[in-house]
Amino acid sequence: MTVALITGANRGLGLETARQLFVKVPGIKVILASRDVGKVEAAVAAFQKQGFAASAVQLEVTDAASIKAAAAVVEKAHGVLDILINNAGVGGKAQSPLDVTAEELRQTYEVNVIGVIAVTQAFLPLLRKSEAGRIVNLSSILGSLSEHSDPNSFIYAWTPTAYDASKAALNMVTVELARVLRDTKIKVNSAHPGWVKTDMGGENAPLELADGVATTLELALLPANGPSGGFFHVGVHLRW
């Protein structure tokens, strides 16, 4: 039986990922993690009414005690974790290197980078027990150094520095984590969901939620011969 945990699962991409995992993987157990567990309880109840094995856990990715407690809950309930989806993230303000504040940089990195590392470290012992552990880090094309350096790229002129730099750093975490786990059955990849209609993406985004989780699902359900240490959008390996 497959066990998955999704951080930031109370809304948007996280919640939609849970919904589609239930459809795609019969019998899967999905743990919806959120810093405010009350925000996922209604979703969990709705899933359970449909016969899905959903549960909720309180998990604040910037709080060490919360992360440790969540890992203990999952270990007691399941003893293993097959899929970890590091979905929780913040967008910040669209500020350039000329006016971004040190505080915004700290806050953004705390969630988008440090939080991902802390959560992954806490759940790694359970992922090691899996027959096919999968870690998916929700990144963004805005974290691509190559795209930002290319005058022909559609993101060339965009400079939301705190967010962009945090996703570039997250991609480095993905590469190095995949390398140190290369002799295990665990695969680690970064996913660019695309520009999706979420609270962060806004109503003008061209993709619906169902489309935005396609890459995450692909990477979460990779076969044994699938890639590790890559940066993908719907099967396409993106430029770092």
Percent composition of the chain: helix, strand, coil (DSSP 3-state, to 5):
45, 15, 40
Using 50, 70 and 90 to split pLDDT, how confident is the model at 73? very high
CATH 3.90.79.10 fits 3-90+112-141+163-237, yes or no: no
| 156 included as an active-site residue | no
Spatial neighbors of 71 by CB under 8 A, at least 6 apart, are 122, 123, 125, 126
> 3-class DSSP state for residue 84?
strand
Of 29, 139, 166, 167, which is the active-site residue? 167
Q: Which pLDDT does position 211 carry in this prediction?
A: 82
Q: Residue 57: name the closest of 79, 35, 76, 42 by CA.
A: 35
* Residue-averaged pLDDT of the chain: 93
| 146 included as an active-site residue | no
Query: How far apart are the C-alpha atoms of 2 and 93, rounded to whole Å?
Result: 37
Query: How far apart are the C-alpha atoms of 240 and 146, rounded to whole Å?
Result: 6
Judged on CB neighbours under 10 Å (0-12, 13-18, 19+), 167 is: buried
Does position 93 have pLDDT exceeding 90, yes or no?
no
| 197 included as an active-site residue | no
Mean pLDDT of 207-221: 88
pLDDT digit string (tens) for 37-49?
A: 988 999 999 999 9
Query: How far apart are the C-alpha atoms of 16 and 43, rounded to whole Å?
Result: 10
In the chain, how long is the greatest CA-to-CA distance?
Answer: 52
HEC sequence for 34-55 = ECCCHHHHHHHHHHHHCCCEEE
Q: At what angle do helices 64-78 and 115-128 cross, to 10 degrees?
A: 20
Of 163, 187, 190, 228, which is the active-site residue? 163
Judged on CB neighbours under 10 Å (0-12, 13-18, 19+), 26 is: exposed
Note the pTM of the prediction, 2 decimals: 0.94
Of 140, 144, 166, 228, which is the active-site residue? 140
